[in-house]
Amino acid sequence: MIESRDPESVIDLTRQGVESAYALIKSKVKITPVLTNESISTIATGSDDVPTTFFFKCENFQKGGAFKIRGAMHALEKLRSEELDNGVITHSSGNHAQALAIAAKAKGVKAYIVMPSNSARSKIEATQSYGGHITFSGPTAPEREYVTETIRKKTNARLIPPYDHPHIILGQGTVLLELMSQTQAEYGHKLDAVIVPVGGGGLLAGCALAAHGTGVRVFAAEPALADDCSRGIETGQREPNVTTTTVADGLRTPVGVINFPIIQKYVEKVLTVSEEEILAAMRLVLERMKIVVEPSAAVPLAVALSDRWKKDGVKGNIGIVFSGGNVDLDKIADLLKKP
């Protein structure tokens, strides 16, 4: 059991906490599909005697196009109505921005959103369409946080962090609760492992809590150009800053303070992949599965198809979390061009 650092209360971050979060938000989020693909699983199996079957949790079909609505909705559901009187505020490159705008609209409150100026155009437009009031900032975490705090002081809006908060973590962990349940109910299989992308670490930490005690092994997937989580695990010290231009824009943030010890304790390994591997995985999903995922969502599959995974990873039934599908359609052709 790991205690959060929530200044208002002590929240035990456990699998039971994830289950309680799911009971609270289940009717407010989509139960997204779990898909398989024989072609991609065959590529992963190769000449091995033990077959690999991938079970893809498609959060690209979620409200707002990504898993983030789970944490945002849970965070708002845990607040009293008077705590929402001045609205809510966050900083995000796009997916949490959209999620909070949707959740705030459902609650009838104002959402102030700080977005890096280099955010994907589609995510900016979507956030605006959901009613978010956007202010732009520089791309780094300190720049985002400075602008957010400035606006928060002016408005007294309630801060809803994108990943470094216990209610966010518990909400995001519901992704794995669903994936495990659906894999068993729809396919008759128990997961052996799951690969989850890591940026700020809310999704990874939540899934690690959800997996604890179930026998499902949890692995993290990270761009090599934004490998702060991998380096932090190696050194035993959280890396507080990330400066990167990785195509996986949703993973450009450092792992959160609350998330890091959860990841240290419950995640088996963090594996990194190149930009070329990320884009190749994204292209493979479009070609073989006929669905669109954003670069950040393709990182777990890139790991699963890498030589490093084939050497150190797990065979059998592997969960792959497609975290979202928010990508600029006018840029997708350039992204997916073969080198």
Query: Catalytic residue numbers?
Result: 68, 93
Q: How far apart are CA 88 and CA 169, in angstroms?
A: 18
Q: How far apart are CA 107 and CA 84, in angstroms?
A: 9
Helix (H) or strand (E) holding 273: strand 269-273
Would you give the DSSP letter of residue 256? P
Strand 193-197 relative to strand 316-322: parallel, antiparallel, unpaired? parallel
Q: How far apart are CA 313 and CA 157, in angstroms?
A: 44
* Number of other CB atoms surrounding residue 234 within 10 Å: 11
- Are the C-beta atoms of 147 and 134 separated by less than 8 Å? no
First to last CA, the chain: 47
